[in-house]
């Protein structure tokens, strides 16, 4: 049986002689998994996610979903961007933004379209705000709109590029728990890029760490902590703390290596 | 100075309106007692001339003539400028192809096209319309393509992940995202189109506010000449007001998001 979502010998160079963001990257993700991807800035983790989404082409290697190569965005894989002020269109209301993801789809019946979108807004806790404009909402609420829009398309996979890094700590905590609940309820496969080790460990069943450029997989650890996770208890669990220390050491080593390289 | 007066000066434009009234009063008094010359009629005499020409249908007729040709040239400039601008902003190939020409033609002041146009399209209404079109085109064109080109990469990626076709992307993303800048271009061109309409009418025409004003001067009907200029001021002001109201409605989200109210 082929892997569900697999990355095979992936390489990305930004110019033909330039340094590679990463090369010979190989890993796979099981169906239904929550994988967190971390790494120092500039290791190409966001680029990797864009390639996996079909938004960008690799210079070598490829990405496959259930054996099929990915070259362009697919309806069953949704991307959640870090810059929600951009990805949520400011000229559309909350509901119109969510509708945008489904109203042109042939496989979604016209009737009940609005209801479908309202239901997904409800799922992210925005049921009372369909007619608000993005500028009337907080950052956390705007990112919820983006999540609702992605979910309304009924994807199997969510690719999330540092979705919570622009939010303040309280909102981040809320959205982390919301995301875990959605993951559990909807049977999604989630690939979550972050530069925050704590966020990666708190959310993921598995944490993949990329090394500094050219990026390769520096660590691939399973996080043996039960779900549902709890902000206080999980983060003070001895297993959590031990993993955190190990990954943190490795991350510092990566950063130091990167510096010597640069110098 | 009292607190109340200070607040009034700061928060309302009443002072500016009063200043206009004062200047008109100075004009009136100076024409009555100081500069007694046929070239400097009193404001009341100008208003009288204005009312006469308005009542007998002369001014409304000329106003309509100006309005019609201005809107024709301006409307064509909008259609051409927005269409070409969207295409140039979206398709890099078209941008590379046309942008140099635009850069070469753009600095030519609108009136400079006039001699050429007289040769090619004559001195009729077509000449004035084409003149307005040419001068009003560039601000709209430039603003449209630079508006499209400044759309964030993330927004195009969003459209792609949502599976939008090119046409849907134009409709849902490109046009609304560029609309604040497109409207800026349109507002600049609105003023330009009136200038060119009046210029064309002054050079060769038999109707329009430009014609009326210049003819009044040439036939020594000085109050009528000022009445023509007053009408132009009001005409331009009303057009701009209407535009601002429409703009505020169309891109409310933009003013709100960028903190303007």
Nearest to B162 among A90, A101, A133 (CB): A101
* Chain B residue nearest residue A56, CA to CA: B157
* Chain B residue nearest residue A159, CA to CA: B161
- Is the minimum CB–CB distance between A86 and chain B shorter than 8 Å? yes
A–B interface: beta-carbon pairs under 8 A: 62
Distance from CA of B67 to the nearest CA of A (A): 32
CA dist B198 to A197, A250, B58, B73, B128, Å? Answer: 68, 74, 16, 13, 9
pLDDT value for A211:
83
Cβ contact A53:A221 at 8 Å = no
Name residues whose C-beta falls within 8 Å of residue B191's C-beta, 6 or more positions apart in sequence: B236, B240
pLDDT band, residue B259 (cuts 50/70/90)? low
- Is the minimum CB–CB distance between A105 and chain B shorter than 8 Å? yes
Least confident of B6-20, B59-73, B199-213: B6-20
Distance from CA of B248 to the nearest CA of A (A): 13
Tokens of B94: 């078209």
pLDDT band, residue B261 (cuts 50/70/90)? very low
Residue B193, phi-psi category: left (phi > 0), alpha (psi -120 to 50), beta (remainder): alpha
Give this complex's ipTM: 0.92
**Contact (CB<8Å) A135/B161:** no
Q: What is the pLDDT of residues A30-69, one digit of tens each?
A: 999 999 999 877 778 899 999 999 999 999 999 999 999 9
* Chain A residue nearest residue B258, CA to CA: A135
Order of strands across the sheet with A60-65? A20-29, A5-13, A60-65, A68-69
- Is the minimum CB–CB distance between A73 and chain B shorter than 8 Å? yes
**Contact (CB<8Å) B162/A91:** no
The HSE-up count of residue A6 (CA atoms within 13 Å, CB side) is 13
Give the integer Cα–Cα distance in Å for B52 and A210. 83
Q: What does the pLDDT average to over B9-34?
A: 93
- Is the minimum CB–CB distance between B249 and chain A shorter than 8 Å? no
Closest CA to B110 of B206, B193, B173, B43: B193
pLDDT value for A263:
53
* Chain B residue nearest residue A101, CA to CA: B162
Give the integer Cα–Cα distance in Å for A18 and A172. 36
Give the integer Cα–Cα distance in Å for B77 and B142. 12
**Contact (CB<8Å) A73/B158:** no
Query: Is residue B160 pLDDT above 90, yes or no?
Result: yes
Q: What is the pLDDT of residues A159-212, one digit of tens each?
A: 999 999 999 999 999 999 999 999 999 999 999 999 999 999 999 999 999 887
- Is the minimum CB–CB distance between A55 and chain B shorter than 8 Å? yes
Query: Is residue B127 pLDDT above 70, yes or no?
Result: yes
pLDDT value for A251:
85
* Chain A residue nearest residue B260, CA to CA: A135
- Which helix (H) or strand (E) covers residue A186, if one does? helix A169-186
Distance from CA of B147 to the nearest CA of A (A): 15
* Chain B residue nearest residue A146, CA to CA: B158
Domains and CATH numbers, chain A: 5-76+156-262 (3.40.50.300), 87-154 (no CATH)
pLDDT value for B230:
95
- Is the minimum CB–CB distance between B166 and chain A shorter than 8 Å? no
Helix-helix angle B125-149:B92-105, to 10 degrees: 130
Nearest to A86 among B154, B168, B172 (CB): B154
Cβ contact B193:B77 at 8 Å = yes
- Is the minimum CB–CB distance between A132 and chain B shorter than 8 Å? no
Q: What does the pLDDT average to over A230-252?
A: 92
Give the integer Cα–Cα distance in Å for A160 and A50. 10
Nearest to A75 among B154, B163, B173 (CB): B163
Closest CA to A51 of A38, A63, A42, A33: A63
Tokens of B224: 């009528």
**Cα first-last separation, chain A:** 46
For residue B122, the Cα-to-chain-centroid distance in whole angstroms is: 25
Closest CA to A142 of A195, A89, A91: A89
Give the integer Cα–Cα distance in Å for B12 and B68. 35
pLDDT band, residue A261 (cuts 50/70/90)? low
- Is the minimum CB–CB distance between B257 and chain A shorter than 8 Å? yes
pLDDT value for A252:
85
- Is the minimum CB–CB distance between B44 and chain A shorter than 8 Å? no
- Is the minimum CB–CB distance between A72 and chain B shorter than 8 Å? yes
Least confident of A88-97, A249-258, B183-192: A249-258
Tokens of A142: 């705007």
pLDDT band, residue A262 (cuts 50/70/90)? low
């Amino acid at each position: 049986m082929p892997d569900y979502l697999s990355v095979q010998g992936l390489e990305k160079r930004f110019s033909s002689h330039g340094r590679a963001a990463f090369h010979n990257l190989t890993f796979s993700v099981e169906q239904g998994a929550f994988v967190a991807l971390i790494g120092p800035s500039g290791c190409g983790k966001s680029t990797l996610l864009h390639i996996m989404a079909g938004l960008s082409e690799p210079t070598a290697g490829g990405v496959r979903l259930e054996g099929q190569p990915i070259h362009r965005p697919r309806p069953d894989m949704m991307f959640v961007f870090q810059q929600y002020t951009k990805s949520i269109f400011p000229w559309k209301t909350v509901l119109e933004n969510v509708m945008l993801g489904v109203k042109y789809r042939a496989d979604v019946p016209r009737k009940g379209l609005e209801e479908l979108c309202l239901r997904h807004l409800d799922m992210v806790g925005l049921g009372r705000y369909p007619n608000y404009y993005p500028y009337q909402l907080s950052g956390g609420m705007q990112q919820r709109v983006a999540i609702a829009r992605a979910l309304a398309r009924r994807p199997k996979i969510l690719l999330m590029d540092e979705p919570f890094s622009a939010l303040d700590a309280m909102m981040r905590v809320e959205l982390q728990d919301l995301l875990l609940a959605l993951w559990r309820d909807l049977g999604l496969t989630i690939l979550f890029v972050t530069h925050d080790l704590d966020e990666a460990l708190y959310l993921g069943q598995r944490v993949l760490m990329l090394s500094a450029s050219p990026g390769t997989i520096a660590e691939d650890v399973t996080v043996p902590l039960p779900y549902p996770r709890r902000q206080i208890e999980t983060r003070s669990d001895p297993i959590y703390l031990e993993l955190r220390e190990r990954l943190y050491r490795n991350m510092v080593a990566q950063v130091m290596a990167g510096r010597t390289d640069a110098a | 100075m009292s607190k109340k007066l200070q607040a009034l000066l700061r928060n309302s434009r009443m002072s500016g309106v009063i200043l206009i009234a004062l200047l008109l009063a100075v004009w009136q008094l100076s024409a009555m007692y100081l500069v007694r010359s046929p070239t400097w009629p009193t404001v009341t005499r100008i208003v009288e001339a204005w009312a006469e020409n308005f009542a007998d249908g002369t001014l409304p007729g000329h106003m309509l003539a100006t309005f019609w040709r201005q809107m024709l040239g301006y409307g064509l400039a909008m259609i051409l400028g927005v269409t070409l601008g969207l295409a140039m902003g979206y398709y890099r190939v078209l941008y590379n192809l046309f942008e140099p020409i635009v850069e070469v033609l753009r600095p030519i002041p609108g009136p400079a096209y006039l001699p050429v146009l007289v040769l090619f399209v004559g001195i009729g209404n077509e000449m004035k319309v084409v003149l307005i079109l040419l001068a009003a085109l560039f601000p709209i064109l430039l603003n449209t393509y630079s508006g499209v080109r400044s759309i964030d990469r993330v927004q195009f990626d969003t459209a792609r992940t949502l599976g939008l076709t090119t046409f849907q992307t134009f409709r849902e993303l490109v046009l609304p995202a560029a609309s604040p800048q497109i409207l800026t271009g349109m507002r600049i061109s609105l003023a330009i189109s009136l200038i060119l309409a009046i210029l064309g009418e002054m050079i060769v025409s038999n109707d329009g506010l430009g014609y009326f004003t210049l003819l009044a001067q040439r036939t020594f009907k000085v109050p009528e000449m000022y009445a023509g200029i007053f009408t132009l001021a009001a005409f331009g002001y009303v057009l701009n007001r209407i535009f601002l109201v429409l703009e505020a409605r169309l891109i409310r989200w933009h003013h709100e998001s960028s903190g303007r109210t």
